[in-house]
Structure 1
Amino acid sequence: MPLIAAALAVLLGLGWLGGGYVWAGPLAKEGAFIVPDGASLSAVAAKLEKEGAISSAGAFKLRARIFGLGKTIKAGEFKLPAHASMRRILSVIASDDILRRFVTVPEGLPSVMIYEKLMTNKDLTGTIEVPAEGSILPDTYEISKGESRQAVLLRMQAPMQRTLAELWEKRDGKCPVLTMEQALVLASIVEKETGKPSERAMVAGLYCNRLRSGMMLQADPTIIYPITKGKPLGRRIRQSEISSVNDYNTYSMVGLPKGPITNPGRESIAAVLHPATTDALFMVADGTGGHAFAATYEQHNRNVEKWYLIRKDRGDF
């Protein structure tokens, strides 16, 4: 009896697994579904559930991994039939039957990685050089199958020039950047220094204060840029790299680097041209993904001690 019960349980499990893969889904009517560029299976499954195409993201992921082995999800806009099964949905979003294609450039993505993204996109043709750092406005861009990479690149660069000029005209003058290029350079540092959108204006205000007072900016991402061209360093910065003298390292020079260190988004540019009014000159990570700001070195040292204790409790050292 135990063996029969076990066999029955296995059969029921297989029936649930296989049946759920081919049974009609909950999507009431035919509709478009967008797979974001670079989205993972988990992200796509969650999006499908949210939009009512499947009843369970977890069940979809499980079945996709078991039955859809070898199928690669593609970015773009697809048409999902009404009541499409999980098998049908996976088949559609892994096919070339794409209504619209997209390439997404996240905020803070350096030009060398945008180059790699475009060169590995099999829907595009031709070759390009690595674009100038800071010349591309992060956004999602629609592309056409067979379109040249150069045409796509130009379409990504034009909005940066328009956006920069537009925001420059509306600047409040609180930050001592004298040209649009200087604003772009500082915005690229702000972009790399904080992952919290609510902090951008504060970080910009701090760096504007440092520029105004003739202090070194001492921004860690400017140490990394000449080493990796903006790619993740993958380790801690070495003391020899901190003291290295070059056109980017703001630990060994006063003022701005010679050029941008990434492609900043609109909000980081706006933050530089409308920085927070603050007396902050120092900042250190606060353990929440943001920073603790200080106007004096003494306050800063106290914040550093707190950060040290947080890292010690986490087992960083």
Structure 2
Amino acid sequence: MKLWRVLLSVVVLAAAAVAGAAMWWLNRPLPLAADAVEVAVEAGSTPRAIAQAWVDAGVQTSPRLLFEWFRWSGQARKIRAGSYEIVRGTSPTVLLNKMVRGDVTMATVRLIEGWTFKQVRAELAQADSLKPTTAAMSDAEIMAALGAPGVPAEGRFYPDTYAYSKGSSDLAVLERAHRMMTKRLEAAWAERASDTPLKTMDETLILASIVEKETGLPADRGKVAGVFVNRLRIGMALQTDPTVIYGLGDRFDGNLRKRDLLADGPYNTYTRAGLPPTPISMPGKASLLAAVRPDPTKALYFVSRGDGSSQFSDNLGAHNRAVDQYQRNR
């Protein structure tokens, strides 16, 4: 009988020792090869593969120990996909809790008002830890993937700063920007003036994109829009350089020449009246609202004063004098 008691005591003590060692390990900081270690957990990854990924990334412990901890905890199936980062002092318990909570490492990318879709794609291509899903896709293929087949990509994405989990797809960021532009455009259209010459939301987006490119000073935005709306009302050509520049594409070398203004094309608003066929940039909220509710003005012309602001004129004579003063220094 004494022997059984001794054996039982040994078993209990051994179990306690194992439990104590386990608790010590679970709450002890994991040794790391660097100050921070990052791992991207793909959807469908097994607990064993996740444990190995952490060790491969620089967690200096046994992958078997990590795997057994994930499995023994009962939470292995609750680990969420995403990018995770741990720093020195992180224990196995904290590591698992982070992945179960989905406490992913975030990065941001900023899309700027007035950018073209070409510029947007270039920015996404160099964004931190953003998966280049669209790299081999054409603009048309991207729009089809976003559920908008046949819709030109230009101007269809809202300029803003977007946070994303590292390892996310660039298409996911574009989907959010596209959805936000649709929402902002619908909101602006709902606030349109009753006498606006704009017939559709698409026309609103096109005009807003021009206003975005033509506005040097935010305080002038509503009046710039007013000039273009006045011209649309009377069938006068918009005569705006940014549309011509957009139409030139890669041929534009930074110098807009007289021959460029005379060469007819769908984006030449000197040779053709009305709006161009598509937006020429990404407008922000202020430009969208200015397009549908421009400042009341009789002006039909404006010219840059050279300091970001514009001089507005009601007639051609006054405009020519303003051009002489601010552009020709006469």
Fold match by TM threshold 0.5: yes
Give the alignment's TM-score, normalised by structure 1: 0.64
1:171 and 1:309 map into 2 onto residues whose CA distance is 38
SS of 2:327's equivalent in the other structure is: helix
The reply to whether residue 104 of structure 1 matches residue 110 of structure 2 is yes
Contact map agreement 2:156 2:282 (CA 8 A) in 1: yes
Note the 1:151-190 alignment, pairs <5 A.
151-190=172-211
Contact map agreement 2:306 2:326 (CA 8 A) in 1: yes
Contact map agreement 1:119 1:127 (CA 8 A) in 2: no
1:173 and 1:183 map into 2 onto residues whose CA distance is 14
Q: Percent identity?
A: 39
2:264 pairs with one of 220, 241, 245: 245
Counterpart for residue 259 of structure 1: 278
2:243 and 2:226 map into 1 onto residues whose CA distance is 18
Counterpart for residue 123 of structure 1: 129
CA apart distance, 1:228: 2.1
The reply to whether residue 213 of structure 1 matches residue 219 of structure 2 is no
CA apart distance, 1:254: 0.6
Contact map agreement 1:174 1:275 (CA 8 A) in 2: no
Counterpart for residue 290 of structure 2: 271
Poorly superposed stretches of 4+, deviation over 6 Å: none
Counterpart for residue 61 of structure 1: none
2:319 and 2:237 map into 1 onto residues whose CA distance is 16
CA apart distance, 1:291: 0.7
2:320 pairs with one of 294, 301, 305: 301
Contact map agreement 2:107 2:163 (CA 8 A) in 1: yes
User: 1:281–1:147: structure 2 CA closer, same or farther, 3 Å change rule?
Assistant: same
Letter in structure 2 aligned against 1:180:
M
Larger radius of gyration: 2
CA apart distance, 1:170: 1.4
Note the 1:28-107 alignment, pairs <5 A.
99-107=105-113
CA apart distance, 1:122: 4.2
2:168 pairs with one of 147, 165, 174: 147
2:299 and 2:327 map into 1 onto residues whose CA distance is 20
Letter in structure 1 aligned against 2:174:
L
Structure 1: tracts of 5 or more residues without a match: 1-77, 79-97, 313-317
1:177 and 1:256 map into 2 onto residues whose CA distance is 10
Contact map agreement 2:130 2:168 (CA 8 A) in 1: yes
Q: Which moved more, 1:250-259 or 1:165-174?
A: 165-174
